[in-house]
A and B are shown apart, each in its own frame.
Chain A
């Protein structure tokens, strides 16, 4: 089991991060195929229950990504998301899910390179951590 590839669920906001991932793809940047991307209208749409559900269904890591603070398409969605996800991350850590398994990143539509880098780093980290119990 230890050589099983980690599975990552990525919740990307439609306006920045999804476009950033798209840019990484159209620019033919290589990044690990472990991530399964779910497009959401805004990072503020990411109900913490979605993340909990992803972990329940066996995700090794979850990435939530949205526009940089101040750049939200809906002006403030990511500010609300930031508060909710901050508390969620602490809760998950307290429950015994390592802090590195849940990442929150702000990626703009121009940061294709950065998105590829984030996913590569994340998957590398998850491989070090090994599969979830």
Chain B
């Protein structure tokens, strides 16, 4: 698998089909992976792919506009690419997508290997990328879902009374330090000016306190409604361990229930909040 990826990347770079190939290389701890940008065929030998390759590389695509780039895409990354294509942030012709069949990635942190799957992989329904130019690995036979989660954290929280839900989120948001790591790592957060950086109107407020953090976290989640593909990078990047993915997953499931829309599956499907049906019982 790794050999195939390296050979394909080297081919692409050698032929000039792409200027840069975005993939993973082994990090300096020798255990985890880090994003890697190969600019020549020789460098392609450093590429790897295994369960430690957790990052969503689609994050880098909007910065690469105007350049032909190759990218290694897991199924979740491929959905992100679709979101970016639909929103006009990435030109389909400018990206060469090398899709990989994915068995899930691990909860590996710096220096600490693990064979435990990332939580997102437990909810994931795709093992084959939804968009690719070249596929590495054998697509599994249907059905694709591999580890159906028995009871989700979303449902567990929904069953609690409102007061407990409030307390749950209050305790988490109170710890937020507003480092914006969730935003910086999110492939769907590319706004030149984020609402939380605006001073007029001052949506979030300057202070780092519960009310301000509440607005930031709720606003962030809401702006990702129907756009989040559940790559859970925000939660992984959060230094305070705030379970942001629960919020994202809740919104994604509601968008699916109400509007039958799943982000990143089809780049031509109309965005649910930019369209409407005259007769619909949604309130």
Contacts and interface: CB of A to CB of B under 8 A. Distances in A.
A82 B282 contact: yes
Interface of A: 48-49, 52-53, 56-57, 69-70, 76, 79-80, 82-91, 93-98, 104, 133
Given A91-B218, A96-B165, 6 more contacts: A52-B219, A79-B278, A87-B255, A90-B250, A96-B162, A133-B170
Contacts of B272: 83
B208 interface: no
A85 B283 contact: yes
Nearest to A106: B283
Interface of B: 157-158, 162-170, 195, 203, 211-212, 214-215, 218-219, 221-222, 225-226, 247, 250-251, 254-255, 258-259, 272-274, 276-278, 280, 282-283
Q: Is the interface of A mostly helix, strand, loop or mixed?
A: helix
A64 to B, nearest CB: 11
Contact of B215 (A56, A93, A94): A56
B215 A79 contact: no
6 contacts: A49-B215, A79-B278, A86-B258, A87-B225, A91-B247, A133-B163
A96 B215 contact: no
B221 A91 contact: yes
A96 B167 contact: yes
A49 B162 contact: no
